[in-house]
Chain A
């Protein structure tokens, strides 16, 4: 409607009016027990769930063994399976029917079968045969179990020095980097920083702004000398703080409770978290310009945030997704931030190495903020 009072210079970015808004916002928060509880307990709860309960680690698999060779070498192989902590040898059986039985009744997850001529084959320089049967109903652990089994056999064969060089022309020595023990807490807990910022910040920001509209406070603010951009910045700053607090809370939890090593530069992580926060605040701001009630605002934000959990690769690797879904993930900010936070924390990556993730986030931040700031001004006038 009227645009004149809005065309003001943005010169003093933080001024007394903004400061007054920020202080007021914290006062609102101090009286809003529900939101405070959400901000404190949701990160804690999620950290416990993803850190302890969701454990995709493969360990202590119930393993059944049929050793038809019964030589010192075959026994040493079984021993190295046992020492790996991935397989628990619980039972020895005599025939293949017992394998079936053990797997079908659900107790056993893996079966190791060593054929009669195992030791003889090795000593004769032939390629020995060992069979590992894995219960594939749960595909993730099954995969890991198989790979681990293969690795164990290979290292066993090498350690024993039993295979002449010419039989294995490639000296294949696989090694897992960044997370050698494949601990799932390493993967999930740093990712939680992104997930929680995505889930909490846009909703809290949007409802806080819409509340002013819903309660008619905006009407009173408009007749005061405060400018729309001051209202906007004043409303946003507290949630930048809260976002950073959530990030710090989870990262310290990751480090001190789950022993996740923080390999990268904390300042890099801080800066990139601010960037991601900007995108999330922009989403909240945008939702606040569309919604007219707090409920609408939170539903609108949830509509966007909920698919982010699945599409961003927070739980399931995006590489395994069908192509259209994979590309859908590229428009989700969380996708990039997850790579950033995991990259900095686990791999110690720096800004330059993360440029492919930073650039899309910068573009998103600009686009979303540009649109929402414009809409915000229009709605106020």
Chain B
């Protein structure tokens, strides 16, 4: 099992009487992109902090890059790279100065440091900006710099906390291409996100809510796990419709998608009949109702509904 990059067993962290991360079990292999999906405050950052060796678990274990985070956090730190959610390099240093500083902290000797800086600058396409101050870079380029910085010491594991938050779609695609390239080189990438379409790009996905891991697997496995079927309903007004249809018997989940609603239902036929009746009674215009395949967002919505029912 030496191709396992990260493995956790019942990883748990409590803050007072609040459980931020609750018995999470994850296995990630080298060369894999692992998507850690959840709303803000679901426990994503707490998990990352534990896996990076800067926060001790309350119970459970985590082995990262072959080192136990509880007994050898210093070795863990040396074998991982970390790209934080908020840009946290130095805005008043140039691209190159930032890399020089962090490279030295990772104790790269000077010739190797020079080579590494050259190579991460080329990899991330930052070469021509090397003498720009970090604050002069746009959001997307800043993120590339953060990735470049995370890769300086050639870690086999890279953590990215919402790497594309606040980045425009073009740059976002560029960053993902970079991540694929890294995965091809055997780096394992642990990516947190709340963009569902980004989760679709991962090899493995885990969905976390209120500290608990609800479901894990490939995006495809997750989509297929949605119980029942999905109906796409084109209707207006949307708010009124979503309130009315959400209360119908047989509707397990409901998400708004642009001008349509996705209803996760146990029996499409009976729900459609009930839906059209309600629409007539409440003056809601329904243009079309058709069965569709589930997306990860639907998975998420149905899980949330299950969680709500369980409370």
Contact = CB atoms under 8 A, between A and B. Distances in A.
A166 to B, nearest CB: 80
B178 interface: no
Contact of A220 (B56, B84, B93, B107): B84
A225 interface: yes
A28 B106 contact: no
Contacts of A16: 104, 107
Contacts of B78: 225
A223 B101 contact: no
B90 A223 contact: no
Interface stretch (A1-9, A131-139, A297-305): A1-9
Interface in A196-215: 215
B73 interface: yes
A158 B8 CA distance: 98
B56 A4 contact: yes
B80 A223 contact: yes
* Chain B interface main SS type: loop
Contact of A17 (B56, B70, B97, B104): B104
Interface in A1-39: 1-2, 4-5, 16-17, 19-20, 23-24, 27-28, 31-32
A216 interface: yes
Contacts of B87: 216
Contact of B55 (A1, A221, A224): A1
B141 interface: no
Given A1-B56, A5-B53, A216-B86, A225 B106 contact: yes
B88 A220 contact: yes
A187 B149 CA distance: 53
A226 B73 CA distance: 12
Contacts of A218: 88
Nearest to B81: A223
A359 interface: no
Contacts of B101: 20, 23-24
A104 interface: no
A162 B122 CA distance: 98
B84 A216 contact: yes
B54 A223 contact: yes
B82 A220 contact: yes
Contact of B88 (A4, A17, A19, A215): A215
B102 A2 contact: no
Most chain A CB atoms below 10 A, which of B84, B97, B105, B149: B105
Given A5-B77, A17-B107, 20 more contacts: A2-B55, A5-B53, A5-B54, A5-B74, A20-B101, A20-B104, A24-B97, A27-B93, A28-B92, A215-B88, A216-B86, A216-B88, A217-B88, A219-B84, A219-B86, A220-B84, A223-B53, A223-B80, A225-B78, A225-B107
Interface of B: 52-56, 70, 73-74, 77-78, 80, 82, 84, 86-93, 97, 101-102, 104-107, 133, 149
13 contacts: A4-B73, A5-B73, A17-B105, A17-B107, A20-B104, A24-B93, A28-B92, A216-B86, A217-B90, A218-B88, A221-B105, A222-B54, A224-B105
